[in-house]
Amino acid sequence: MQSTMMSGQRPAAFSGSKARLDKAVRPAKLARVLVPTVRAVVAGATEAEVDGRALRRSLNQTGRYVRQPRNDPISQQKMDEHGVGYSTSGLVAQMRTQGNLWKEGEITVKLAKAYGYCWGVERAVRMAYEARQAHPDKKLFVTNEIIHNPEVNQRLKEMDIEIVEAEGDQKDYSKIGTGDVVIFPAFGATVQELSDFKNRGVQMVDTTCPWVAKVWNSVDTHTRRSFTSVIHGKYSHEETVATASFASNYVIVKDMKEAQYLCDFILNGGSREEFLTKFAKAVSKGFDPDTMLSRVGLANQTTMLKDETEQIGKLLEKTMMQKYGPEKLNEHFLLMETICDATQERQDALYEIVADPEIDFMVVVGGFNSSNTSHLQEIAEHKGVPSFWVDSAARIDVEKNTILHKLAHGELRETTNWLTPGKAVTIGITSGASTPDRAVEEVLHKVFKIYNPDFSGIAPKDCGPVVTPDEEH
Ligand code: SF4
């Protein structure tokens, strides 16, 4: 992936073809329909019985399906106003023009080379804004949070785009009817949801990141070739739920420990009951570990730690080689490259910045339920660099000089006197792939204010548009 920014790492966007908001079909109003979500889907509802790839293809033929942004300037302008796009004139934009560096009095800030919005997320938010713009009088719904960022989701709500929340294991889509617009978020929707909305005849705006769709394709290949998908992910994460829905047989492993257990089972066998208890929420319906692990393919939640996905791939490969012999490896193990570049770049940049001896500590900005952000925090902690993870500037109290921050394992902690005004400091900063630049700017504003109560902000300076490469997966 190329970048045009000085850092060479700014997220890319798709130019693609203009989205087509084709003529809406107006079906009869539908009765209340509860669609299983998270646990029910992972436990293996009926969606795997649907041919996922054929279904996705058929959506294109409905005339009610949009899956590319239109690059509408009015929507872009609104995103700028709301601070939910890339910064083009604020502090982050200005840092980009000077080597991701900023000096403010005694504070030096180093911005990671790759940070913030990935193209998939920016693209999803843009498509949601464009949907609102294209359908000013219609009811708009998102089947989940569009991305894992509370402020962006709040903005959508303010634009009268309703996020359909889960009720336990299910979602009630019954209020969505003829003429409404349904937006699928960046991490996708399940086969069952796609099928349901296709049959309802609503207008569909599919913002699923093409990288996520690429994983779906690999899972689909596993299914077609009678491989069981081993998905490295979190079984309750929306993206993994969607990915699993495209597989016939799957098991989800969250880390190396679970992968090792799986591989030990493949090599040596074990208690079927214990296996099924351990992976109760993470296997397909009717999964049989005794018969379904002789041919496995690896897939991943795109925001997992890249190194760990690679290690799991190597472990599976070694296991299948040991069990069946190197000459038969291809018959028993399938690996396709599906690790998202954006996640990888942010993680690599984090490794680089925490190795910088001048850095006193890190600040990581991103939603507390954002998987990729949690991994950035995890890397800093793992490398022994003090790191404060906040989801917004609201976690920082300027007058008290306190910060309420989250640790990688989930604990929320308040640290007092976390900054020492008067003492020179070098801060490394990064942000998760679902974090708009404005959030970073607001955090830094508060940091500067703690050091200098008279600090009143950085004057905007037009740094030009964020030019991103054309790329299609
Ligand atoms: S992190 Fe990667 S896969 Fe996820 S939305 Fe961004 S670009 Fe797409």
Tokens of 308: 């760990």
CA of 306 to the centre of ligand 1 (A): 13
Widest Cα–Cα separation across the chain: 70
CA of 69 to the centre of ligand 1 (A): 16
**373 Cβ below 6 A of ligand 1:** no
Which DSSP state fits 86? -
Contact by Cβ (8 Å): 52, 246: yes
**Residue from 3, 117, 118, 238 to probe ligand 1 pocket by mutation (most atoms less than 8 Å from CB):** 118
Q: Which atom of ligand 1 is nearest to the CA of 121?
A: 5
**14 Cβ below 6 A of ligand 1:** no
Which residue ranges in the chain fall short of pLDDT 70? Answer: 1-50, 467-473
**95 Cβ below 6 A of ligand 1:** no
- Closest residue by Cα to atom 6, ligand 1, is 120
Determine the Cα–Cα distance for residues 441 and 94; give it in Å rounded to an integer.
11
Residue 258 forms part of a structural domain? yes
Q: State whether 370 and 441 are in the same domain.
A: yes
CA of 61 to the centre of ligand 1 (A): 26
Q: State whether 296 and 355 are in the same domain.
A: no
Q: State whether 95 and 154 are in the same domain.
A: no
Residue 406's φ and ψ, nearest 5 degrees, are -110, 145
Q: What's the pLDDT score for residue 467?
A: 63
CA of 167 to the centre of ligand 1 (A): 27
Strand partners, 296: 228, 333
**212 Cβ below 6 A of ligand 1:** yes
Q: Name the CA radius of gyration of the chain, rounded.
A: 23
CA of 422 to the centre of ligand 1 (A): 40
136 Cβ contact partners less than 8 Å away, ≥ 6 residues apart: none
Q: State whether 123 and 180 are in the same domain.
A: yes
Q: State whether 431 and 442 are in the same domain.
A: yes
Domain end, chosen from 142, 177, 209, is at: 209
Q: State whether 108 and 189 are in the same domain.
A: no
Domain end, chosen from 174, 209, 244, is at: 209
- Closest residue by Cα to atom 7, ligand 1, is 120
CA of 444 to the centre of ligand 1 (A): 25
Q: State whether 202 and 235 are in the same domain.
A: no
Residue 126 forms part of a structural domain? yes
- Closest residue by Cα to atom 2, ligand 1, is 340
Residue 143 forms part of a structural domain? yes
Residue 29 forms part of a structural domain? no
Residue 11's φ and ψ, nearest 5 degrees, are -60, 145
Q: State whether 125 and 114 are in the same domain.
A: no
Q: What's the pLDDT score for residue 47?
A: 42
Q: What's the pLDDT score for residue 90?
A: 95
CA of 64 to the centre of ligand 1 (A): 25
Residue 187, domain CATH = 3.40.50.11270
**Residue 473 burial (C-beta neighbours within 10 Å; 0-12, 13-18, 19+):** middle
**203 Cβ below 6 A of ligand 1:** no
Q: Which atom of ligand 1 is nearest to the CA of 303?
A: 1
Q: Which of 122, 130, 239, 345 is catalytic?
A: 239
CA of 234 to the centre of ligand 1 (A): 16
Question: Which residue, among 89, 114, 10, has the nearest Cα to 457 in the 3D structure?
Answer: 89
Query: CA of 135: how far to CAs of 146, 180, 181, 334, in Å?
Result: 18, 9, 8, 43
> Model-level pTM?
0.81
Q: State whether 267 and 202 are in the same domain.
A: no
User: Where are the alpha helices (H) located in 173-255, listed in sequence order?
Assistant: 191-200, 210-224, 238-245
Residue 318 forms part of a structural domain? yes
Q: What's the pLDDT score for residue 34?
A: 45
**216 Cβ below 6 A of ligand 1:** no
Q: How many domains does the chain have?
A: 3
Tokens of 355: 């190795």
Q: State whether 158 and 227 are in the same domain.
A: no
- Closest residue by Cα to atom 5, ligand 1, is 120
**Residue 204 burial (C-beta neighbours within 10 Å; 0-12, 13-18, 19+):** buried
CA of 139 to the centre of ligand 1 (A): 27
**Residue from 127, 209, 243, 471 to probe ligand 1 pocket by mutation (most atoms less than 8 Å from CB):** 209
Determine the Cα–Cα distance for residues 281 and 301; give it in Å rounded to an integer.
16
**279 Cβ below 6 A of ligand 1:** no
Sign of CA dihedral 212, 215, 219, 225: positive
Q: What's the pLDDT score for residue 15?
A: 30
Residue 262, domain CATH = 3.40.1010
Residue 297 forms part of a structural domain? yes
Tokens of 371: 């998987």
What mean pLDDT value characterizes the chain?
87
Q: State whether 188 and 249 are in the same domain.
A: no
Domain end, chosen from 335, 366, 389, is at: 335
Tokens of 36: 């299983």
Q: State whether 225 and 327 are in the same domain.
A: yes
Q: Which atom of ligand 1 is nearest to the CA of 211?
A: 3
**43 Cβ below 6 A of ligand 1:** no
Residue 376 forms part of a structural domain? yes
**376 Cβ below 6 A of ligand 1:** no
Residue 459 forms part of a structural domain? no
**118 Cβ below 6 A of ligand 1:** yes
**235 Cβ below 6 A of ligand 1:** no
Query: CA of 443: how far to CAs of 9, 304, 367, 378, in Å?
Result: 21, 25, 13, 20
Q: What's the pLDDT score for residue 259?
A: 98
Q: What's the pLDDT score for residue 4?
A: 31
Range of the domain at 189: 119-209
* 442 included as an active-site residue: no
Residue 100, domain CATH = 3.40.1010.20
